[in-house]
């Protein structure tokens, strides 16, 4: 009986941890999820009624969100499609959030408290035009609050209750540019004002009730115009002339058009610089930006211009905020030496009265300058007016300021990450303990009692919360040193705003951030763009003395002609070590597999003039490059021309000034795809740091095939020109997909395959000797995934045992692209249910662990799919040997198992890319997915065969050992007693 009880106990303990999923209380131990919204472009406060105070925002990432004014948390949000750009935002009926998007084509109403969509209207039109959203106040219409929308050349009047289109006016047939929809405060008349040509202004009068045209008038201005028309009041408009020397005021009262002109020099004297009318909406006043000054100009009833104020170094001006009848306020901010000065001015019907608020606030200079400001008022306890300001910073972060203090801030620039690399944390110094000692015996006993209750599933919700807190505390996942398993790292991200941040993989907190000065908007660089981030220096021999550094490459503007900027950043401290403004352009950055004595990695920057520039610019780097000069190859892809070219270094540049760090290169080969039949839509290559454990692959019948492993392989996907658009733009007969595998050293096409009736978009991933790609089959009306594996036939004779014994084999000879390879390709295609946003493959430090495909689905989740499902050797009836090898029986579709989503039940909104980093533990791969949200986790494709999990119960192990020892002792005593009794018989 004792033996049976012992076996039962062992069976229970051995089966207690065979679980593939995670429990609810384990979420957050190995993963984290962060929500963002992006750079705010529209904001509307809702604080009139009792309840939660909130601000409604729309962002450049096409996010609509409701934020808590107390803490900045997200009440609710909606991430619209990448093509569904939000053009306008407002509140109707005090309970609906109204958004206009898709260039004025889609109007939606959202429920204010919970964000549920109430109605949606599609506004047709046939002409591209400016999008305008206008919700008139106190308009006497028969139904409800009217929503006026102009877009796609049409004016629509929409009911705010159900989204019904009440009336419509089409301007598509007229060659006019509508600039403003203006409501008359005295009657239900709508003014539509704009331009016809460059100097002809027009005004249409419509009746709000039914859309009847009451009056139409136009007039020719004596000069051309610059910029957009600004509405100062319901009957007064202003604009600059074409040379920006005069201000033209236009009076449209009662539909009649009268204009006046005033030279800017007559108002403010001689001044250099180009004048710009700021788009801020102020009652009876407008702001003119001139020579780093902002001039506030009042437009009198007689049409005269009067200067009412002059403000220096204004960063941003808000729109006017209505406080009471005929009384408004607006705010502006100025940057001082170390503070931001924040002013709110009182504006009545006649003049600027003075300051409501004049405060200063300290804002981290790593956030940059203020780009936008939105204000809201509230009543203080002493019945005076108070104001809160929502500020959008240069790094796309969001700050709420109230009473001279920062109430909260949001790092929303992380919603626009453009590139990521991983960096190791510092090595732990001697004398620093990794583990924390338990405080006292009582706490130690309490902790183990809670763990035991959790194991026996008798823990209460309070106990589960305590266990979760203990796990988070004991895991030390946020420690700023390396751990033995390599789970703790820094994710160094580059955002679209030109800001670099380091995120800790433990919990995702920001370790440091730096806004690069070379990637900030200035007179020399009007539109800076961060391109990529690279590893620059990774010290191995001096890891205790030197810090790693990264290289950030950026340029001014999106064209290749823009100047290049380089920034070198310390990966541990976040300090910018050096910055360079280069005279040449940038077309391509090539990290070379060479490092100098300082362990700085060599890089080649290819410019638009067919020259290669070496960095770092040191004699040692040139000497190292000369040693491998003949082995430096790269390729370039010209998508528009359908050409792929191979290049190699030739010699130093020859010019008026000798530059030993500049090289010219020669074109080795080119592959030209016929433009009438193929168009390049996707290219992908292997990771440069990928590790392959073995080249041999043992088959089920004891056969051996050798993977063709080369870092110079390129996968190219082409489609028919008619099928290069969205799905459904071409018929099955007009569509085909052609894929290539090309050697980028010689230009040889190693494999070519055509998929008839298929089109993109194509997402692909290349690893070891195989490539997997995803596309759409028009005839089957389903998505497909195909796999291609390439094997080296030149090593096929190595299967002979006698050759191996006698040493007559080529196993040790390197794989060379110089020789013509003898390769064979195996392929297979499968149906797949989902559309795909991104694809990646897991990577481990030694390449031993089996691989999984990480697929970013259209639902913004990440699916882990075992690579065995994409094996081209799958058959309908695999043999017994193939089953033992792990070959899965063939099916036409790839399975999607709900437990295989590594994102669990959450969504990574706006998912754009998935990145994998190997941990020091061979079984584990770190995964980072980003879009509008950030998500990090670690996965074990073959389970954690080389370590114990963090929730492993050491107390239960101790109990098991004690129980086994006791059982052995008891059974020994019983056995001895029984044996003694048998002898006495």
What does the pLDDT read at residue 444? Answer: 62
Phi, psi of 978 (to 5 degrees): -65, -40
Summarize the confidence of residues 589-594 as an average pLDDT: 91
pLDDT per residue as tens digits for the range 452-497: 777 667 778 777 777 777 665 555 677 888 888 888 999 999 999 8
| Inter-residue contact 124 to 161 (CB < 8 Å) | no
Q: How many Cα atoms are found within 13 Å in the side-chain-facing hemisphere of 815?
A: 20
pLDDT at 396 over 90: yes
Average pLDDT over every residue of 245-258: 83
435 has pLDDT over 70: no
Q: What percent of the chain has pLDDT over 90?
A: 36
Which DSSP category does 971 fall into?
H
* Tens of pLDDT, residues 119-145: 999 998 878 888 999 887 754 444 467
Domain residue extents for the chain? 954-985
Q: What is the mean pLDDT of the chain?
A: 84
Q: Which of 200-204, 250-254, 450-454 has the lowest mean pLDDT?
A: 450-454
Reported confidence tier of residue 433, pLDDT bands at 50, 70, 90: very low
Pick the closest to residue 185 from 233, 252, 148, 256 (CA basis): 233
pLDDT of residue 503: 94
CA distance 76 to 112: 10
Which pLDDT belongs to residue 62? 93
| Cβ atoms 153, 127 nearer than 8 A | yes
Q: Is the pLDDT of residue 82 over 80?
A: yes
pLDDT of 432 reads 36
Count of other CB atoms within 10 angstroms of residue 884: 10
- 25 pLDDT exceeds 70? no
pLDDT at 390 over 90: yes
pLDDT at 9 (0 to 100): 44
pLDDT digits (tens, 9 = 90+) for 749-781: 999 999 999 998 999 999 999 999 999 999 999
Tell me: pLDDT of 155 over 70: yes
Query: What local confidence, expressed as pLDDT, does residue 12 receive?
Result: 43
Give the pLDDT mean for 84-98: 90
Q: Which one-letter DSSP state was computed for residue 103?
A: T
- How much is the average pLDDT of 840-847? 92
Could you read off the pLDDT of 356-365 as tens digits, one per residue?
Answer: 788 888 888 8
What is 257-286 written as a DSSP string? -EEEEEEHHHHH-S--S--EE----BTTEE
The pLDDT, as a whole number, for residue 248 is: 86
Q: Which of 303, 582, 853, 280 is nearest to 295 (CA)?
A: 280
Q: Residue 827: which pLDDT band, with cuts at 50, 70 and 90?
A: very high
DSSP calls for 810-878: -TTSPP-SSSPP-EEEEEEEEEESS-EEEEEE---SSS-SPPEEEEEETTS-EEEEEGGGG-TT--SS-
510: confidence class by pLDDT, cuts 50, 70, 90: very high
Q: Is the pLDDT of residue 89 over 60?
A: yes
563/743: higher pLDDT: 743
443 has pLDDT over 70: no
The stretch 820-848 carries a mean pLDDT of: 91
Length of the chain: 985
Cβ atoms of 56 and 78 within 8 Å: the answer is no
351: pLDDT strictly greater than 60: no
Percent share of the chain, pLDDT over 70 = 87
Q: Does pLDDT of 542 surpass 90?
A: no
pLDDT confidence of 671, banded at 50, 70, 90?
very high
Lowest mean pLDDT among 304-313, 653-662, 963-972: 653-662
* Lateral strand order in the sheet of 417-424: 417-424, 489-495, 499-504, 510-515
Segment 835-840 mean pLDDT: 94
pLDDT tens by residue, 599-615? 899 999 998 888 899 99
> 557 pLDDT exceeds 90?
no
User: Distances from the Cα of 260 to the Cαs of 180, 194, 221, 246, in angstroms?
Assistant: 19, 17, 9, 10
Longest dimension (CA), the chain: 132
Which two structure tokens, joined as six digits, stand for 38? 């992006």
Parallel, antiparallel, or unpaired for β 314-317 and 96-101?
unpaired
| pLDDT at res. 911 | 94
Q: Where are the beta strands (DSSP E) in 704-850?
A: 704-706, 713-719, 736-743, 749-756, 758-767, 770-777, 782-792, 823-832, 836-841
Residue range 872-919, pLDDT digits in tens: 988 888 888 888 888 889 998 998 888 889 998 899 999 999 999 999
Q: How far out from the chain centre does Cα 103 lie? A: 23
What's the pLDDT at 350?
53
How far apart CA 505 and CA 917 sit, in angstroms, is 11
Residue 15 has what pLDDT? 38
């Amino acid at each position: 009986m004792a033996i049976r009880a012992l076996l039962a106990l062992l069976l229970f303990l051995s089966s207690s941890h065979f679980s593939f999923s995670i429990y609810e209380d384990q979420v957050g131990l190995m993963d984290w999820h962060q929500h963002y919204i992006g750079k705010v472009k529209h904001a509307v406060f809702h604080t009139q009624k009792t309840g939660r105070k909130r601000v409604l925002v729309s962002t450049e990432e096409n996010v609509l969100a409701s934020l808590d004014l107390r803490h900045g948390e997200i009440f609710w949000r909606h991430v619209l499609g990448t093509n569904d750009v939000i053009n306008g935002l407002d509140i109707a009926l005090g309970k609906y959030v109204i958004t206009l998007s898709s260039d004025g084509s889609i109007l939606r109403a959202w429920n204010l408290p919970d964000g549920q969509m109430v109605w949606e209207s599609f506004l047709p039109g046939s002409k591209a035009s400016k999008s305008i959203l206008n919700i008139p106040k106190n308009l006497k219409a028969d139904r409800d609050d009217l929503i006026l929308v102009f877009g796609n050349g049409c004016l629509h009047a929409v009911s705010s209750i159900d989204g019904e289109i009440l009336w419509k006016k089409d301007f598509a047939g007229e060659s006019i540019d509508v600039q403003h929809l203006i409501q008359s405060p005295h009657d239900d008349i709508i003014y539509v004002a704009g331009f016809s040509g460059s100097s002809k202004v027009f005004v249409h009068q419509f009746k709000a009730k039914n859309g009847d045209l009451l009056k139409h008038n136009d007039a020719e201005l004596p000069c051309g115009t610059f910029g957009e028309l600004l509405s100062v009041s319901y009957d007064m408009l202003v604009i600059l002339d074409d040379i920006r020397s005069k201000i033209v005021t236009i009076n449209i009262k009662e539909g009649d058009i009268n204009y006046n002109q005033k030279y800017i020099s007559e108002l403010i004297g001689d001044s250099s610089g180009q004048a710009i009318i700021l788009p801020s909406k102020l009652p009876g006043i407008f702001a003119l930006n001139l020579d780093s000054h902002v001039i506030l100009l009042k437009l009198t009833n007689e049409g005269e211009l009067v200067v009412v104020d002059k403000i220096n170094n204004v960063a941003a001006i808000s729109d006017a905020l209505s406080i009471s009848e005929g009384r408004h306020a607006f705010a502006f901010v100025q940057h001082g030496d170390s503070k931001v000065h924040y002013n709110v001015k009182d504006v009545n019907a006649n003049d600027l009265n003075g300051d409501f608020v004049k405060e200063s606030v300290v804002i981290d200079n790593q956030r940059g300058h203020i780009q936008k400001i939105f204000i809201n008022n509230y009543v203080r306890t002493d019945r005076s007016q108070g104001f809160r300001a929502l500020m959008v910073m240069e790094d796309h972060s969001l700050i709420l300021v109230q009473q001279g203090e920062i109430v909260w801030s949001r790092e929303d620039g992380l919603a626009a990450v453009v590139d990521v690399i991983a960096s190791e944390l510092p090595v732990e110094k001697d004398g620093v303990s990794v583990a924390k000692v338990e405080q006292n015996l009582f706490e130690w006993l309490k902790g183990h009692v809670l763990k035991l209750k959790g194991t026996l599933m008798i823990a209460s919700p309070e106990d589960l919360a305590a266990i979760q807190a203990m796990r988070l505390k004991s895991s030390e996942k946020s420690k700023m040193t390396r751990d033995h398993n390599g789970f703790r790292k820094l994710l160094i991200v580059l955002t679209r705003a030109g800001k670099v941040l380091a995120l800790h993989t433990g919990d995702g907190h920001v370790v440091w951030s730096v806004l690069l000065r070379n990637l900030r908007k200035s007179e020399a660089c009007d539109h800076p763009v961060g391109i990529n981030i690279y590893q620059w220096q990774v010290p191995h021999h001096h890891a205790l003395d030197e810090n790693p550094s990264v290289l950030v490459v950026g340029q001014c503007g999106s064209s290749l002609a823009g100047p290049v900027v380089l920034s070198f950043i310390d990966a541990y401290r976040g300090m910018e070590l050096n910055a360079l403004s280069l005279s040449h352009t940038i077309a391509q950055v090539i990290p070379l597999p060479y490092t100098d004595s300082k362990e700085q990695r060599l890089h080649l920057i290819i410019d638009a003039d067919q020259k290669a520039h070496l960095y770092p610019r040191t004699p040692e780097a040139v000497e190292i490059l000369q040693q491998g000069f003949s082995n430096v190859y790269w390729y370039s892809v010209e998508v528009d021309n359908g050409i792929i070219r191979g290049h190699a270094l030739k010699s130093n540049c020859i010019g008026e000034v000798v530059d030993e760090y500049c090289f010219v290169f020669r074109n080795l080969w080119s592959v030209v795809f016929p433009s009438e039949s193929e168009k390049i839509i996707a290219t992908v290559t292997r990771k440069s740091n990928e590790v392959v454990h073995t080249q041999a692959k043992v088959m089920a019948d004891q056969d051996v095939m050798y993977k063709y492993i080369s870092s110079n392989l390129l996968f190219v996907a082409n489609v028919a020109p008619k099928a290069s658009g969205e799905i459904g733009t071409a018929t099955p007969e007009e569509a085909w997909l052609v894929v290539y595998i090309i050697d980028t050293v010689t230009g040889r096409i190693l494999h070519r395959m055509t998929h008839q009736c298929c089109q993109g978009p194509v997402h692909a991933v290349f690893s070891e000797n195989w490539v997997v790609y995803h596309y759409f089959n028009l005839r089957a009306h389903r998505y497909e995934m195909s796999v291609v594996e390439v094997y080296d036939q030149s090593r096929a004779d190595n299967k002979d045992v006698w050759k191996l014994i006698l040493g007559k084999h080529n196993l040790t000879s390197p794989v060379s692209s110089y020789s013509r390879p003898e390769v064979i390709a195996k392929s297979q295609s499968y149906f797949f249910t989902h559309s795909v946003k991104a694809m990646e493959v897991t990577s481990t430090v030694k390449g031993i662990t089996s691989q999984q495909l990480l697929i970013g689905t259209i639902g913004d989740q990440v699916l882990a799919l075992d690579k065995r499902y994409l094996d081209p050797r799958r058959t309908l009836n695999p043999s017994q040997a193939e089953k033992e090898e792990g070959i899965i029986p063939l099916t036409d579709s790839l399975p999607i198992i709900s437990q295989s989503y590594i994102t669990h039940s959450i969504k990574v909104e706006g998912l754009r890319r998935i990145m994998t980093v190997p941990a020091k533990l061979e079984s584990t791969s770190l995964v980072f997915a980003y879009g509008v949200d950030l998500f990090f986790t670690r996965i074990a494709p073959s389970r954690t065969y080389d370590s114990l999990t963090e929730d492993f119960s050491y107390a239960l192990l101790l109990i098991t050992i004690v129980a086994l020892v006791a059982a052995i002792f008891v059974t020994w005593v019983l056995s001895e007693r029984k044996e003694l009794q048998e002898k006495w018989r």
